Amino acid sequence: MLIKLLVTVSILLSSLSATGCACKRISVISPQGGVSPVSGRILPPEPDPAVNKATIAGVDSNNDGLRDDVERWLDATYGVDKKKLSGVRKYARERQKDIAEIELITQDTRLTYSKNSLKAIDCFLETHKDESWETQQGILEIISQTTFNTLRRIKIKHESDKKFSGLLTGLSKTEEAVKCAEE
């Protein structure tokens, strides 16, 4: 059990180191948005925290499926490696859908949502295959922490997951081939 705990703690620490990195780098990204000095992408401005937390979906001013604060954080943290950035953006976008599109997840649509989520995970693991399993898990955790960062969002995420109960899902070879297809 102690080993388990140590593993968990080490994962937390690795997650924290990822955010620590982001904290330093995010300061070079203009609060007003614009071209990122890290990735070269055009980023949205930093949203007002109160407004951003007022709704489940938060602020997505450029309508790219990523909450603006998450998009900026991902860029600051993973922007130096375009492939890795692509992997985490894809994964984060699916997690955002879990809560922002919960009303659209129905018995008829849930397989599509699930396949998109599986593609995102495959893509993430593919773009981070040089990382250890623990580091990969740490990154997924910190993306989860950043996306589901209020009790309301956690609640909705929880409700969203329930909708997939009993679903048989998987990717065909054709679907796997386009796992990292752009956003």
Partner 1 sequence: MYRRIAILIMLLVPSFSFANDCNNIKRPNLILINGIWNTKGQAEVSLSELKDKLRKTSTFQSYSSVNLLHNETHGVVQDLVDVLIQKAEEQPSAEKNIISLVNIALIRGYGSIYDMFSAVVLDPLLSVFTTSEIKTAIADLQKAATYSDYIDTDFEDIVAQFYALGAGNSSPILLMPHSQGSIYANQLGNYLKSKGFTNIEAVAVATPANTVLGWTSDMLYVTHDSDGVINMIRFIFKSVLPSDLPGTGHEFVNDYLSDTPSWAAIQQCLALAVSRLSAKTLNAPFSYTTFSSQTNVNFDLVVSSSTGFDMILGMQQETSVTSSSAGVASYCPCATPTRPTVYVAFAVPQGSSQFTQFKSQYTTFDDFQYADHATGNLLPTSSGSGYMLNSISVDSLGKVTII
> Whole-number minimum distance, CB 150 to partner 1, in Å?
7
> Whole-number minimum distance, CB 170 to partner 1, in Å?
3
Quote the CA–CA distance of 142 and 123 in Å, as a whole number. Answer: 17
Question: Which residue, 8 or 109, is less far from partner 1 as judged by CB?
Answer: 8
> Whole-number minimum distance, CB 168 to partner 1, in Å?
4
Residues with Cβ within 8 Å of residue 35, at least 6 apart in sequence: 41, 42, 43
The DSSP 8-state label assigned to residue 64 in this structure reads: S
Question: Which residue, 43 or 99, is less far from partner 1 as judged by CB?
Answer: 99
Q: Letter for the amino acid at 62?
A: N
Question: Which residue, 39 or 147, is less far from partner 1 as judged by CB?
Answer: 147
CB neighbourhood size of 49 (10 A): 11
Residues that bind partner 1 (CB under 8 A): 1-5, 7-9, 11-12, 114, 117-118, 121-122, 125, 133, 137, 140-141, 144-145, 148-151, 154-155, 157-158, 161-162, 164-170, 172
> Whole-number minimum distance, CB 151 to partner 1, in Å?
6
Question: Which residue, 5 or 50, is less far from partner 1 as judged by CB?
Answer: 5
Stated as kind and residue range, the H or E segment containing 19 is helix 2-26
> Whole-number minimum distance, CB 128 to partner 1, in Å?
12
Quote the CA–CA distance of 133 and 170 in Å, as a whole number. Answer: 21
Q: What six digits make up the tokens of 77?
A: 């943290």
How far is CA 88 from its chain centroid?
A: 6
Question: Which residue, 8 or 55, is less far from partner 1 as judged by CB?
Answer: 8
CB neighbourhood size of 177 (10 A): 10
